[in-house]
A and B are shown apart, each in its own frame.
Chain A
Amino acid sequence: MEERELVEYFRGQIREDPDVASAVAAIRSLLEFLKRDQSETILGLRENMTQAIHRLQEADPSVAVSSGGELFLRFISLTSLEHPDLSQCKNVMIERGELFLKKISLSRGKVGKLCHTFIKDGAKILTHSSSRVVLKVLENAAADNKRFTVKLMAEKLRKLSIPVTVVLDAAVGYILEKVDLVIVGAEGVVESGGVINKIGTYQMAVCSKAHNKPFYVVAESFKFVRLYPLNQQDVPDRFKYKADVLKTAEDLNQEHPLIDYTPSSLITLLFTDLGVLTPSAVSDELIKLYL
């Protein structure tokens, strides 16, 4: 399968089902790639897969795609591939790939269920930019007839008949005293337990710490990535900017970054499909996944 086809397939997936996480779409395309791959050896296969992941990363430089891809690769190759016949090996890998895909498609639902018990009746929630996971959480909570008001992410919530108010990013400090809790999604969860999310999240986290409001992050487990940024500068450039910007810009310092890094000290809890974790437990999970 050619690389361009792969990217087309990936974009097609996102177009068809706008509600799907970009990482899930990436993994579906990788699975498709695996099925159509023509290489003769397992090593060749793995190399092709790694290259495919890189291609997808270039197409959509979000952290989730890179982490999801890497986890997918590890998951499918973690079985014994001792069969003499290559096609048998491939079948085993494809089976595991399907299994992985099924697990992660359910993860959003799991997270939603976990989180909605933390939202009390009449709570006022602050959130930031559009995250499908947070939407799911709020849907679940709404089904339980809890009333709450939400800032930002307006139309989808209005459809769910949840009372919504939209505020500017700059007014976050102003509105925080009226808010009970803050819930955001994540593009990636790093080893220290911090999160990478749309720009403006860090600000919100700092303000909520100052007001002593709980700051919750909801993320699926395939977003765990083996990065360890020490500060904002330390986040690799390939995540910060859009794909075309990375290629054309002369001086990246002039460009506006898309994401920022929120350190683990500002986060109260993380809701994942592996359970409700404290930031220090994220490293534990990562060690279990990767070692």
Chain B
Amino acid sequence: MADSDGRQVDSINHATGEEGKLQDIVKAKSEGKELTKEEKQRLRKEKKQHKKNKKDDNKGPPEKEKEKEKEKASAPPPSKPVTQSPAHKAAAPAPVTASASETPAAAEKPAKTKAELRAERRARQDSERASKQGKKEGGQQSTSSKPKASPNELQPVVKRLPEHVQVDDPAALKKLAKKLERQQKSGQGCGLNITGVQVPLRSDYGYKVSLFSHLHQYSRKNPPTQQISIPATVIHPSIVRLGLQYSQGIIAGSNARSVALLHAFKQVIQDYSTPPNEELSRDLVNKLSPYISFLSQCRPLSASMGNAIKYIKKEISNIPNQCKEEEAKGKLQACIDSYINEKIILASEAISKYAIEKISNGDVILVYGCSSLVNHILCEAFEKQRQFRVIVVDSRPRLEGREALRRLVKKGIRCTYVLISALSYILPEVSKVFLGAHALLANGYVMSRVGTSQIALVAKAYNVPVLVCCETYKFCERVQTDSFVSNELDDPDDLIVTRNGKTHLENWQTVKSLGLLNLVYDVTPPDFVDLVITDLGMIPCTSVPVVLRVKNVDQ
């Protein structure tokens, strides 16, 4: 308390010119980036003022106004006028009532000096800091800096939800909620009803095991689409549909999700029209951010989807300004098509070619779950008259192995079906293990469906070679050595099984000491994997960073 009080006093005392600057330097050291962001923000505000005066656009100031209000009204209720300046007449965060109150406020801004603006902002920050002294240190720092950062990021830089989730950190959650609200409001007029949340924040369901309390756990019975009001003008309907398909598990599997995402984006681009005085390359990217947030609320994004999104954003921002809208849209559609073709379809052809070399006659191949790539390889090998039989290993609650079994048996391949509990019984018969992957991490670890690392471990113990098949677009630069730090928790109600009309776990929520954990992914160390087959060839697991490096050089 003392510290912030002192600073508050200081800031009020040194409100003018040079000392303000000294203060800035000191502050800059302690606050890091905030000062330059303040300056940037100021520059942008001035630019916007000029723009606004030319165009008399309504969008700019309301945004800024709202941002400013949010900055001051973060945790405690908005009745915190503090050392307020004439710029903040509208103290309530309520809907923007009249632009009349804002236009004088906005017009007054150029009239102020830089130092005064700085001083006001600092005073505001200090008051916020004072009020948040009871909360966690980290949250405090980040929330005081994040509201500063976000107004800048509404400009050309696209904002996304943070990669790592911190569900048990209340400050981080609040940050998340604010970001979602901000995303939906960008680009809208002031007349919209704010109480209808456009990008909903899903709430967690059920008791979470403490090791995984930093992850979200949603229930499938409450899809996020229920909270979206109709008409949902911010989120494109094909994205809403996609989100629902993800959250209900209708579209599952890394390749399927990426392809569906790209198709939905094609639709979005088709229906997109550039607003006047905006550039397609910047505006479209901004339009995509709320969609991406919505999708990650429905189901956390996979590494392959992340890479696909990065690619699209790069392509969009590389569109030259002179390009006409129709031409640009056509180009983007072609880019997406070629991405799907090269990275997914042709890659699986290349991988099958390499993999078939490794399948010899008389082999007994073990597969786990349903990987579209592994199924494709086995079907191709069967067509090339290789003699082998397949053992499909399956596990609850998803029972994806049944889908794989269906596809293979339809082709005419001899299959055996076991549950993962029978693994050590069946392994002495097996000659090779083929596994699919969700992502390959930069330290050589393989992230795949839960149960994969178990299979790799037991196979190693029996000296059976383990081959992982993975396209290069699933390689990601993240590093993880265990399955706790970043994972996905599925609906815990899936684990409940009803047999003969009796459900023992029906009221698991009432039992305080019981937690149901339905993990989706796990991570396999590279010592258990003998070979990774990618579209670039056969590489050892430790060479993933080499491939990433080569790819970056290519781009």
Number of A-B contacts (CB under 8 A): 40
Contact assessment for B432 and A230 in the assembled complex, using a CB-CB cutoff below 8 Å: yes
CA distance A231 to B540 in the complex (A): 14
Contacts of B538 in A (CB 8 A): 191, 228
CB < 8 Å neighbour of B546 from A230, A264, A283: A283
Q: Kindly report which residue of chain A lies nearest to residue B554, judged by CB atoms.
A: A291
Contact assessment for B540 and A193 in the assembled complex, using a CB-CB cutoff below 8 Å: yes
Indicate if A3 sits at the interface (CB-CB under 8 A): no
Indicate if B550 sits at the interface (CB-CB under 8 A): yes
CA distance A287 to B546 in the complex (A): 8
Contact assessment for B542 and A283 in the assembled complex, using a CB-CB cutoff below 8 Å: yes
Contact assessment for A192 and B536 in the assembled complex, using a CB-CB cutoff below 8 Å: no
Contact assessment for B432 and A284 in the assembled complex, using a CB-CB cutoff below 8 Å: no
CA distance A192 to B531 in the complex (A): 8
Q: Kindly report which residue of chain A lies nearest to residue B539, judged by CB atoms.
A: A283
Contact assessment for B543 and A230 in the assembled complex, using a CB-CB cutoff below 8 Å: no
Contact assessment for B531 and A230 in the assembled complex, using a CB-CB cutoff below 8 Å: yes
Contact assessment for B536 and A284 in the assembled complex, using a CB-CB cutoff below 8 Å: no
Indicate if B465 sits at the interface (CB-CB under 8 A): yes
CA distance A228 to B538 in the complex (A): 7
Indicate if B120 sits at the interface (CB-CB under 8 A): no
Indicate if B358 sits at the interface (CB-CB under 8 A): yes
Indicate if A39 sits at the interface (CB-CB under 8 A): no
CA distance A99 to B177 in the complex (A): 65
A287-B547, A287-B550 known; A192-B465 Cβ under 8 A: no
Contact assessment for B542 and A280 in the assembled complex, using a CB-CB cutoff below 8 Å: yes
Interface residues on A, range: 10 to 19
Contact assessment for B358 and A284 in the assembled complex, using a CB-CB cutoff below 8 Å: no
Interface readout for B522-550 with A: 1 if CB under 8 Å, 0 if not? Answer: 00000000110000111110110011001
Chain B contact residues: over half helix, strand or loop, or mixed? Answer: mixed
Contacts of B542 in A (CB 8 A): 280, 283
Closest Cβ–Cβ distance, residue A11 to chain B (whole Å): 32
A283-B546, A287-B547 known; A230-B540 Cβ under 8 A: no
CA distance A191 to B541 in the complex (A): 11
Contact assessment for A192 and B540 in the assembled complex, using a CB-CB cutoff below 8 Å: yes
A191-B538, A193-B540 known; A228-B531 Cβ under 8 A: yes
Contacts of B537 in A (CB 8 A): 226, 290-291
A283-B546, A287-B547, A287-B550 known; A230-B358 Cβ under 8 A: yes
Q: Kindly report which residue of chain B lies nearest to residue A193, judged by CB atoms.
A: B540
Q: Kindly report which residue of chain A lies nearest to residue B444, judged by CB atoms.
A: A280
Contact assessment for B543 and A284 in the assembled complex, using a CB-CB cutoff below 8 Å: yes
Contacts of B467 in A (CB 8 A): 230
CB < 8 Å neighbour of B543 from A226, A233, A280: A280
List B residues 345-373 near A (Cβ within 8 Å).
358, 360
Closest Cβ–Cβ distance, residue B118 to chain A (whole Å): 51
CA distance A229 to B546 in the complex (A): 21
A192-B531, A230-B531, A287-B547 known; A280-B465 Cβ under 8 A: no
Contact assessment for A291 and B358 in the assembled complex, using a CB-CB cutoff below 8 Å: no
CA distance A191 to B547 in the complex (A): 14
List A residues 271-291 near B (Cβ within 8 Å).
280, 283-284, 287, 290-291
Contacts of B536 in A (CB 8 A): 287, 291
Contacts of B530 in A (CB 8 A): 192, 230
Closest Cβ–Cβ distance, residue A279 to chain B (whole Å): 8
Contacts of B547 in A (CB 8 A): 287
List A residues 192-247 near B (Cβ within 8 Å).
192-193, 226, 228, 230-231, 233-234
CA distance A192 to B530 in the complex (A): 9
A228-B531, A231-B465 known; A287-B540 Cβ under 8 A: no
Contact assessment for B539 and A287 in the assembled complex, using a CB-CB cutoff below 8 Å: yes
CB < 8 Å neighbour of A191 from B358, B432, B539, B550: B539
Contacts of A226 in B (CB 8 A): 537
Which among B530, B540, B547, B550 has the highest number of chain A CB atoms within 10 Å?
Answer: B540
Contacts of A234 in B (CB 8 A): 358
List A residues 174-203 near B (Cβ within 8 Å).
191-193
Contact assessment for A230 and B465 in the assembled complex, using a CB-CB cutoff below 8 Å: yes
Contact assessment for B540 and A191 in the assembled complex, using a CB-CB cutoff below 8 Å: yes
Q: Kindly report which residue of chain B lies nearest to residue A231, judged by CB atoms.
A: B465
Q: Kindly report which residue of chain A lies nearest to residue B530, judged by CB atoms.
A: A230
Q: Kindly report which residue of chain A lies nearest to residue B465, judged by CB atoms.
A: A230
CA distance A291 to B550 in the complex (A): 9
CA distance A231 to B464 in the complex (A): 9
Contact assessment for A283 and B540 in the assembled complex, using a CB-CB cutoff below 8 Å: yes
CA distance A36 to B380 in the complex (A): 44
Closest Cβ–Cβ distance, residue A287 to chain B (whole Å): 5
Interface readout for B463-485 with A: 1 if CB under 8 Å, 0 if not? Answer: 00101000000000000000000
Q: Kindly report which residue of chain B lies nearest to residue A285, judged by CB atoms.
A: B546
Contacts of B540 in A (CB 8 A): 191-193, 264, 280, 283
Contacts of B358 in A (CB 8 A): 230, 234
Contacts of A233 in B (CB 8 A): 360
CB < 8 Å neighbour of A284 from B360, B465, B531, B546: B546
Closest Cβ–Cβ distance, residue B263 to chain A (whole Å): 31
Contact assessment for B531 and A283 in the assembled complex, using a CB-CB cutoff below 8 Å: no
List B residues 426-442 near A (Cβ within 8 Å).
432
Further 12 A-B residue pairs, CB within 8 A, beyond A192-B530, A230-B467, A283-B543: A191-B538, A192-B531, A192-B540, A226-B537, A228-B531, A228-B538, A233-B360, A280-B540, A284-B546, A287-B536, A287-B550, A290-B537
Residue pairs across A and B with Cβ atoms less than 8 A apart, 17 shown, are: A192-B530, A192-B540, A193-B540, A230-B432, A230-B465, A230-B530, A230-B531, A231-B465, A264-B540, A280-B543, A283-B539, A283-B540, A283-B546, A284-B546, A290-B537, A291-B536, A291-B550
In the A-B complex, the 4 residue pairs with the smallest Cβ-Cβ separation, listed nearest first, are A230-B465, A280-B542, A283-B543, A228-B538
